[in-house]
Amino acid sequence: MFPEPTYTQRRAALCSALDGGLVLLLGNSESPMNYADNCHRFRQDSTFLYFFGLDQPDLAAVIDTDVGTATVFGDELTIDDIVWTGGLPTIAARAAACGVTETLPTADLPGVLARARAAGRAIHFLPPYRAANKLKLMDLLGIAPGEAGARASRPLIEAVVAQRSVKAPEEIEQIERAVDVTIAMHLAAMRMVRPGVSERAIAAEVTRVAEAAGCRLSYPVIATVRGEVLHNHHHDGMLESGDLFLLDAGAEGPLGYAADLSSTVPVDPDFTPRQRLIYDLSLKAYHAAVDALGPGVPNRDVHFAAARVIAEGMKGLGLMKGDTEEAVAAGAHAMFFPCGVGHMMGLDVHDMEDLGEAFVGYDGRPRSTQFGLKSLRLARPLQPGFVLTVEPGIYFIPQLMDAWRASGHCAEFLDFDELDKWRDFGGIRNEENWLITPDGKRRLGEPKPLTADEIAGVRDQPR
């Protein structure tokens, strides 16, 4: 946990941002894998962590924004529990560590909420993303599970997004530590890459490096020779000569802060000339996006800076044609870059995605429905203290080529016959994590090998 004043100040800021009422924050419960006592690793809700730092299942909290007090609800361990868990600090002792002096049993929560409702006070809650918390809201507030998202408090969502979007120095330090562990994960993987190694072996090593450093994974590892499958979580392939290997893996630090890096390397010691062309183009797009970053710059512009470079490069290769600006406006570049340039990162790898990307990335406005652009999670102007990923990629997706050829989509900007020659190329992505500063930006963590020469240098080192 951070020192106690961090949590007291965060809750005070939340109270000032709201116009009265109670805030009900539900922590997460254990999530069974196949029976009640055999659970997935516990992950606390990120907003609960942000305001209370208590990393323990089955807690809830109420913040009274009119008087500025907070109560933590939870049940002490019984002797039956302690036989299995060992002795643990009491809820009162844990709550004291985040500056909360009032704790009550879980059974008291319905009464507290009922009295507040009877007095006509607002009860603000966030959209639940776990079924268990939807059911809890039904029990506590009588809201049907299917309606809980729509009935969530917009003022609370906006206040939490405003607070969590701007990272404090102690948060940046946590993120940067997670980034450095993540770089060690990527270096370990790069040193293993060669023909005959399995994706599984690399995924296992990447996970080991994270765990050995006291971290966990911030999302499931992508370790694949099929980089064109954007979220490819299968690890059953073998690395073969001529392949590209893409790793997208990040550590989550002990306080819950995430890192998210991607690297692409050749399975052979060097890229083929064709791979090198696309790799260098992807780096050019990456640097164009990074150059565009800065306070006040809409991340939408950062996205288009990368998109333009990719479209220009594809024209040079004869895969695209026509006016670049018109092609990008029509979304033709999304044949190669069908996703967004990056996303917010913090206590969640896609920070606050549970609160709604309209609020996190679009200031509450709807986003584009155009293929490609609709997957841009963060479009609004960047502010000092924002931490985000920059991850333009170039992907050759045979199914997308066939679908667009059949429908004629963007046919004026694409040469489908030329594209067919690249069906088996795969995909490339590089990704780093950036902080927006008052006068620009700063890459978080140590530099990661990016150029072909830097990658070759890492692979020459002994394992």
Q: How far is CA 87 from the centre of its chain?
A: 34
For ligand GLY, the closer of residues 112 and 223 by Cβ is: 223
Which distant-in-sequence residues (6+ apart) come within 8 Å of 372 by Cβ?
331, 333, 334, 337, 338, 339
Nearer to ligand GLY, 205 or 248 (CB): 248
Max intra-chain CA distance, the chain: 74
Please pick, from the candidates 55, 228, 252, 260, the single residue that binds Mn ion as defined by CB under 5 A.
260
CA distance 179 to 258: 8
d(CA 36, CA 300): 44
Location of structure tokens 């549970």:
354
Of 265 and 349, nearer to Mn ion (C-beta) is 349
Instruction: Output 246 or 319, the one with its CB closest to Mn ion.
Output: 246
Q: Which is nearer to ligand GLY, 300 or 350 (CB)?
A: 350
Helix axes of 154-165 and 4-17: crossing angle, nearest 10 degrees: 140
For ligand GLY, the closer CB: 121 or 374: 374
- Residues between 349 and 378 with contacts to ligand GLY, criterion CB under 6 A: 349
Size of site (CB under 6 A) for ligand GLY: 4
Both tokens of 450, joined, read 């990016």
Helix-helix angle 169-192:199-212, to 10 degrees: 140
Q: What is the DSSP string of 113-151?
A: HHHHHHTT--EE-PPP-SHHHHHHHHHHH---GGGHHHH
By CB under 5 A, which span of 136-144, 173-181, 211-219, 258-266 interacts with Mn ion? 258-266
Q: Minimum distance between the CB of residue 343 and ligand GLY, rounded to whole angstroms?
A: 6
Burial of 193-211, coded b for 16+ CB within 10 Å and e otherwise, reads: beeebebeebbebbbebbe
Q: Which of 233, 254, 131 is nearest to 181 (CA)?
A: 254
Residue whose token pair is 């933590």: 72
Judged by beta carbon, residue 24 or residue 349, the one nearer ligand GLY is 349
Closest distance to ligand GLY from the beta carbon of 342 (Å): 8
Q: Which stretch binds Mn ion (CB under 5 A): 103-111, 162-170, 198-206, 254-262?
A: 254-262
Whose Cβ is closer to ligand GLY: residue 259's or residue 311's?
259
Smallest separation, CB 376 to ligand GLY (Å): 12
447 burial (CB, 10 Å; 0-12 / 13-18 / 19+) is exposed
Shortest Å, Cβ 390 to ligand GLY? 11
DSSP-assigned beta bridge partners for residue 320 = 414
Select the residue interacting with ligand GLY from 176, 199, 228, 248 (CB under 6 A). 248
Pick 59 or 265: Cβ nearer Mn ion: 265
Choose the binding region for Mn ion from 76-84, 125-133, 385-393, 403-411 (rule: CB under 5 A).
385-393
Q: Could you give the 3-state DSSP secondary structure of residue 165? A: helix
Q: Which of 226, 22, 26, 202 is nearest to 106 (CA)?
A: 26
CA distance 117 to 195: 65
Nearest distance, CB of residue 308 and ligand GLY, angstroms: 22
Give least dist CB 344 to Mn ion, A.
10
Closer Cβ to Mn ion, 228 or 260, answer by number: 260
Q: Which does 219 bind (CB under 5 to 8 A by kind): Mn ion, ligand GLY, none?
A: ligand GLY
Q: Is 219 in the site for ligand GLY (CB under 6 A)?
A: yes
Q: Give min distance, CB of 296 to ligand GLY, in A.
A: 24
What, of ligand GLY, Mn ion, none, does residue 2 touch, CB below 5 to 8 Å by kind?
A: none
Q: Smallest distance, Å, CB 313 to Mn ion?
A: 22
Stretch that binds Mn ion, among 96-104, 253-261, 305-313, 412-420 (CB under 5 A): 253-261
Is the CB of 133 or the CB of 389 nearer to Mn ion?
A: 389
The footprint of ligand GLY on residues 394-453 (CB under 6 A) is none
Q: CA of 180: how far to CAs of 22, 184, 250, 351, in Å?
A: 39, 6, 10, 19
For the record, the structure tokens of 187 come out as: 């270096």
3-class DSSP assignment, residue 414: strand
Size of the site for Mn ion (CB under 5 A): 2
Minimum separation from the CB atom of position 19 to Mn ion (A): 35
Tell me how far, at minimum, the Cβ of 375 lies from Mn ion, in Å.
12
Short-list 92, 80, 90, 94, CA closest to 37: 80
**For binding to Mn ion (CB under 5 A), which residues are involved?**
260, 389
**For binding to ligand GLY (CB under 6 A), which residues are involved?**
219, 248, 260, 349
